[in-house]
Structure 1
Amino acid sequence: MSKNVLSKADLIQEVLERTEGLTKKAVSEVIAATLETITDSVAKGDEVNVIGFGKFSQSQRAARKGRNPSTGAEIDIPAATLPKFTAGKAFKDKVNA
């Protein structure tokens, strides 16, 4: 199964084709503002829930021990805060259809 990759430019073009009366610049600005708002909100520790699409949030990963694959030496891997996306039911249903 070959996969197509939808770039930001492709996303802008898809939205432009599905909407009437919007310019490419306006669509680009709306997408940029949406992504920036989601990023800023999650960075502050807030959750962003888009009903039917999914939820963006933070996930905490605890500190742990690891190994350097080259030397085999044990290393400390620090705790980290990661972005997390949980797909909503409508999104899951469409993907599994």
Structure 2
Amino acid sequence: MTKSELIQRLAERNPHLYQRDIEKIVGTIFDEITEALARGDRVELRGFGAFSIKKRDARTGRNPRTGESVDVGEKCIPFFKTGKQLRERLNTD
């Protein structure tokens, strides 16, 4: 599901709200999650999951085209861990 599909589905389920307001709400939520992660904070949405940052150490990689060794610097990677309720809902038989 894309962001625009999410907005469209929310608009269909909430006909009393304007679509432009839903776009602002969804955008604000995503912006707040992004800003919190950029600060190094953890974002937890109970029942859904938690967003956090994992650091990858610097390492020596390999250029797949030439086989030459390349130094890869340290970087931060966003990480998502599903919540218990979401995991249970996905794995119902």
TM-score after normalising by structure 1: 0.88
Deviations 1:49-68 (A, max 9, x none): 00001111111001111111
Q: Does 1:18 align with 2:20?
A: no
Deviations 1:5-62 (A, max 9, x none): x111110011122225211111111000000000000010001100001111111001
Q: How many residues align?
A: 92
Match of 1:46 in 2: 41
In structure 2, stretches of 5+ residues that fail to align are none
The correspondence for 1:72, drawn from 59, 67, 72, is 67
In structure 1, stretches of 5+ residues that fail to align are 1-5
Report % sequence identity. Answer: 36
Match of 2:23 in 1: 28
**Shift >3 Å, 4+ stretches:** none
Letter in structure 1 aligned against 2:48: F
Letter in structure 1 aligned against 2:41: D
Moved more, 37-46 or 85-94: 85-94
The correspondence for 2:58, drawn from 49, 53, 63, is 63
Q: Tell me the SS of whatever aligns to 1:76.
A: strand
RMSD value, Cα:
1.1
TM-score after normalising by structure 2: 0.91
